[in-house]
Amino acid sequence: MGHDNERSDMIIRILQVLAVGFVIAIISSGILLLIHPEYASFLDNEPETHVSTHQPKLRPPKAPVIEEQQQPVTVQSYDLKDRHLLELWSLMSIPAGHIDTVKYSKSPSTMELSGWAGHAALGMRFAYILFSACGQIIGHTVVNLVRPDVAKNVHDNLLQSGWRARLGVEDLPSCPKAALQAWGLAPTGNILWPLNGKADLEGTRPLPPTKKHIKFNSDVLHPSRVTLPQLRKIQILANRANLRRCAGTSCKIVGKIKRGTHAGYIVEQRGGWALLQLKDGAGWMAQSLFTAT
C-alpha cells in the first residue's frame, strides 16, 4: 500500500515537470517569434511562401509630345532679297498724312501701324503707303480704310484715306538711330510724299528669332513696276478757268489757268470735277471748262 502511494506521487511529480516544461517551451516559442518572425515557417505544416507587401510606385505613361503648329503671320514687309534703295524714288518734302499708332509684338516679332495719307491742300488720294528704314524700302500696304475724321478736318476728298500695316522687325536694316518712315505713293508717277511721325526701331529685335513664323509680302512695289500716268493735252475753254481746293464752286480758289492748250495730268475725277496737275498749277476744275486728249 505504501509503495503504491509513493509510485502515484512520483507519477504526479513527473507530470508536473512535463507540464511546466511544456509551458516554458510555449512561452519561449512566442518570444522567439516576436524577435525573429521569419522562424514562424518552421512551426507551420504548409510550405513557406513569402509575399512582399511593398507596392511599387506606378508612374503614369508620358503623354505624346505634339508640336504646336503655329500658323505663319502675314506681314506687309519684304524679304531681304526684295528690298531696294529709297533713293530710286522721287521724294517730296511736304508731309501728306500721319502715322497715328505704333504697337510692338514679340511673338513673332512684329510692329503694327496705322494712320492716314493724302494731300491735305488738294485732297489728292494715295493708293499705297511705302515704308523705309536706313535708306531702304522694306514694305508697303494699301490705303483703303474709311476715315470720316480726316474727311471732316483735313479734306472732304480724303474719306478713304486710312491704312493699316503689320511689319516684321527681325531683319530690318540696322543703322544708328534706326527709325521707320512711311511714304504715300502719289498717282502722278514715282513720287513719294512723307508722312508725319516715325516709329523707333531701337530694341525691337527679339531673341531668339522667330522668322519661320513670318510670311513676307511678295507683291513688291518698285519704281520700275509703277505704271506712269498718261500725259494729256488739256484744252482750257474759258478765258481764265479757276483751279479750286476741292470739287465745288464754294471751295477756295487756289489758281487760274489761261485759255489754251496745257500739258498735264488728270489725277482724279469726281462729280463733274477733275483734279488737274498742270505746269502752271494744280487744283480742281469743273469738267465743263476743259477738254482732254
Domain boundaries, the chain: 73-225, 232-292
Q: What is the CATH number of domain 73-225?
A: 2.60.40
Query: 185: Cβ–Cβ under 8 A, 6 or more apart, which residues?
Result: 126, 127, 128, 129, 130, 140, 191, 192, 221, 226
Q: Are strands 273-278 and 281-286 parallel, antiparallel or unpaired?
A: antiparallel
Flag residues of the chain having pLDDT under 50.
31-35, 39-52, 58, 67, 206-207
Q: Considering the entire predicted model, what is its pTM?
A: 0.72
- Closest C-alpha among 115, 203, 221 to residue 162: 115
The backbone torsions φ and ψ at residue 151, rounded to the nearest 5 degrees and listed phi first, read: -60, -35
Type of residue at 211:
K
Distance CA 268, CA 263 (A): 16
Type of residue at 213:
H
pLDDT, position 222: 95
In angstroms, how far is CA 189 from the centroid of its own chain?
Answer: 32
Question: Which residues pair with residue 132 across a beta bridge?
Answer: 137, 181
Distance CA 189, CA 249 (A): 29
Q: Are 284 and 257 in contact (CB under 8 A)?
A: no
Four-residue CA torsion sign, 271, 277, 280, 281: positive
Distance CA 290, CA 236 (A): 5
pLDDT, position 43: 40
Q: Are 280 and 262 in contact (CB under 8 A)?
A: yes
pLDDT, position 33: 46
Q: Are strands 214-215 and 73-74 parallel, antiparallel or unpaired?
A: parallel
DSSP-derived 3-state class of residue 4: helix
Correct CATH for 232-292 of 3.90.850.10, 1.10.3720.10, 2.30.30.40, 1.25.40.20: 2.30.30.40
pLDDT, position 52: 46
pLDDT, position 266: 96
